[in-house]
Amino acid sequence: MPFDFHDLKTVSLANDEVTLRIPRRWEVVPHESDEGRWGCYEEEVDGVDPDTGTLWISVDHYIWRGEGAPPPGFDVKSHAEQAAARTRQAIAPLLADQLTEVEDGLRWFRSYDVEEDGEPLRFWFSHFFLGRERHVAVISFNLVLTHAQMDDPEFVELREIIEREIANAFLDPFKSDDWDAAEEALGPMHLCNFADWVKVSLPKAIGFSIDEEADEQRPRWYGRLETEYSHAAMFVDCQKMALRDEDGDPVNLPAEMYREVLDDVVGEPGGEDRYRRMPAGVVAVDTYEDTEGIGESDGNGGVFQGYRNRVWRYMVFEEGEAQLLTVLLILPLPEWDSGPYVALRCYLDGAVRRAEFPGFEPPERY
């Protein structure tokens, strides 16, 4: 009987600080004594251990609360390099050992063999050392297979799947920091429900109204944030997509095939813009300017000074259907670096990725 490791589900751990997909047949089991650690595996049934591999996940936080700047070595790069050096001395030989840059920090991938209760095992570790100012988070993944399993074609496939899903995981250890900074600059936050198409946590100061002229199958909302001297405009646009065959029935494409066509929909990586994989989708961020007519009268007694726009496109998908969320923020060009607008666009970088899509399978939360 095949293990069907490619049949996946999305899970979220540690108050949504880690979200990724794992084989549906696995359960998530909190560690008995370590509240920051979880095991993903298939539990025993009637005393029989299926032994289909284990993925351990842990989350740790280090926050400098002293006066002044954090001490030398507190920065995420030094933290990662020192941890790697200590481990290299304690464990030898390492079969793999690689440090690479990732968003907000570094990833250290290492692999080595151990023996437990007389059984040889192989560990594939991914440690993410992530930092924001005084806050360092360490998120670790450890896939464990026996030596008897690791060359079996199905378990080779499992390792490839887990490696891919770790690369696509949404690591969000600074969500509380983002929320606090946004509330300090923009006031109270709340969860906005856009007619059960999408839910996003946004500042209460932004009032939204639906665009009555928009297509019902592609609704659009307009929001406005007033400041003392100007305002920011925001548009939220939703669109559902489904691939149909010649009989009008949904075609169940796997997520990987959707990803192949997403580049033309959500944008390209590079430069200031970002392109991020998500457990069940992908997010692109684009920034562009509207400068045509700068210096001319704006029709309201003022002079047009131009706009700088940031757009987030988040496509989430299940087999057979997808939904594209577009959030457009329009800022007066001279105000791009002013306090509340900086706080708003920085907050939206994370808030869009935390969007909820009613109608799509929600993650199992632990």
Find out whether 355 and 325 touch, Cβ atoms under 8 Å: yes
Where are the strands (E) in 205-273, listed by range? 207-210, 220-226, 231-242
Confidence of residue 5 (pLDDT cuts 50, 70, 90): very high
The CATH number fitting domain 176-365, selected from 2.60.120, 3.30.2320, 3.40.1000, 3.30.70: 3.40.1000
Region 4-21: what's the mean pLDDT? Answer: 95
Residue 267 to residue 269: CA distance in whole angstroms: 7
Per-residue pLDDT at 304: 78
77 Cβ neighbours under 8 A, 6+ residues apart: 105, 106, 129
Instruction: Name the percent of the chain lying above pLDDT 90.
Output: 57
Per-residue pLDDT at 73: 64
Query: How far, rounded to the nearest angstrom, does the alpha carbon of residue 31 sit from its chain's CA centroid?
Result: 24
Q: Residue 308: what residue type?
A: R
Per-residue pLDDT at 58: 97
Per-residue pLDDT at 309: 92
Which pLDDT tens digit goes with each residue over 46-99?
777 788 999 999 999 998 888 777 776 678 888 888 888 888 888 878 999 999
Per-residue pLDDT at 91: 80
Which pLDDT tens digit goes with each residue over 87-123?
888 887 899 999 999 999 999 999 999 998 889 999 9
Confidence of residue 45 (pLDDT cuts 50, 70, 90): confident
Per-residue pLDDT at 133: 85
Per-residue pLDDT at 134: 87
Helices (H), 309-338: none
Q: How many residues does the chain have?
A: 366
Please tell me if the domain spanning 8-173 has the same topology as the one spanning 176-365.
yes
Identify the residue with better confidence: 273 or 122: 122
Per-residue pLDDT at 84: 83
Backbone angles phi, psi at 106, to 5 degrees: -130, 150
Residue 362 to residue 12: CA distance in whole angstroms: 10
Find out whether 333 and 291 touch, Cβ atoms under 8 Å: yes
Give the fold, CATH level 3, of 8-173.
Protein Transport Mog1p; Chain A (3.40.1000)
Per-residue pLDDT at 254: 62
Residue 357 to residue 39: CA distance in whole angstroms: 27
Is the pLDDT at 3 greater than 90, yes or no?
no
Per-residue pLDDT at 301: 67
Per-residue pLDDT at 168: 92
Find out whether 92 and 46 touch, Cβ atoms under 8 Å: no
Find out whether 360 and 7 touch, Cβ atoms under 8 Å: no
Query: Where are the chain's structural domains?
Result: 8-173, 176-365
**pTM of the full predicted structure?**
0.89
Residue 52 to residue 45: CA distance in whole angstroms: 13
Which pLDDT tens digit goes with each residue over 301-351?
677 788 899 999 998 988 778 899 999 999 988 888 888 889 999 999 999
Instruction: Name the percent of the chain lying above pLDDT 70.
Output: 91
Is the pLDDT at 277 greater than 60, yes or no?
yes
Per-residue pLDDT at 11: 97
Identify the residue with better confidence: 2 or 316: 316
